[in-house]
Amino acid sequence: AQKVTQAQTEISVVEKEDVTLDCVYETRDTTYYLFWYKQPPSGELVFLIRRNSFDEQNEISGRYSWNFQKSTSSFNFTITASQVVDSAVYFCALSGNYKLTFGKGTLLTVNP
Amino acid sequence: DGGITQSPKYLFRKEGQNVTLSCEQNLNHDAMYWYRQDPGQGLRLIYYSQIVNDFQKGDIAEGYSVSREKKESFPLTVTSAQKNPTAFYLCASSIPGRHNEQFFGPGTRLTVL
């Protein structure tokens, strides 16, 4: 069975702080993909990134960066110099068998 | 603009009534999905369809039904057999395959009174 754990239920930071959201996964598949989604207060999930299990290179996109470590089954997400607009629920997800398994999400609040 | 439409945004029904939530996409995606989200919970898969006229149960299909008669449409019916139907429902679509990202609609918040 697949499982995604986001241990941080809520995180609160002050604007311009860096923040890391943790994601740990379990799977028996040798080929899989990991995802991050953002859910702003409007409710719609916004796709942020997809990484495959064979590519452990870190990825950076603007203020966002992702650290994938297969040895610890983790796919952590860091926001550098956070902004109020980053306030949202963030979900980590794992692919397998034609569907995604989601973690319970981390509510990030960035205060001015 | 290509995207996924879910209507209405808010829906109220009396207990014991069936209700159908609509989901339409013009992304030309073959695969479509329905999820349920409860406060503090992740997304749980209700039903999914990889191709027209075919669909499979997800993790929490009891009390729900779907149809997939057209590529663009994947309506979800919440039946009176669903014991706790009040929730936020999200529809998604993707190109078919085991590992493709899904794109989501704006969601429908269903409240059963």
Helix H or strand E segment including B1: none
Chain A residues lying within 8 Å of B106, measured CB to CB: 42-44
Q: What is the mean pLDDT of residues A20-46?
A: 94
Which of B43, B47, B51, B88 is most worth mutating to test chain A (most A CB atoms within 10 A of its CB)?
B43
The mean of the pLDDT values for chain A is 94
Region A68-72: mean pLDDT is: 93
Tell me the count of A-B CB pairs closer than 8 A: 60
**B104 Cβ under 8 Å from any chain A Cβ:** yes
Task: Judge whether A84 and A62 are in contact, CB under 8 Å.
Answer: no
Q: Is B39 on the interface with A (CB under 8 A)?
A: no
| Those residues with Cβ within 8 angstroms of residue A71's Cβ, 6 or more apart along the chain or in another chain | none
- Say what the pLDDT of residue A56 is: 83
pLDDT higher than threshold 80 for residue A97: no
Hey, is the C-beta of B11 within 8 angstroms of any chain A C-beta? no
Per-residue model confidence (pLDDT) at position B98: 67
What's B27's DSSP letter? S
Q: Is the pLDDT of residue A109 over 80?
A: yes
pLDDT at B95: 86
Distances (CA, A) of A20 to A46, A66, A90, B4: 18, 9, 11, 30
Please tell me if residue B85 touches chain A, with a CB cutoff of 8 Å.
no
Name the residue facing A98 among B42, B50, B104 (closest C-beta): B50
Q: What is the pLDDT along chain B (113 residues), one digit of tens a residue?
A: 679 999 889 999 998 899 999 999 999 999 999 999 998 888 999 999 999 999 999 999 999 999 999 999 999 999 988 889 999 999 999 987 767 889 999 999 999 98
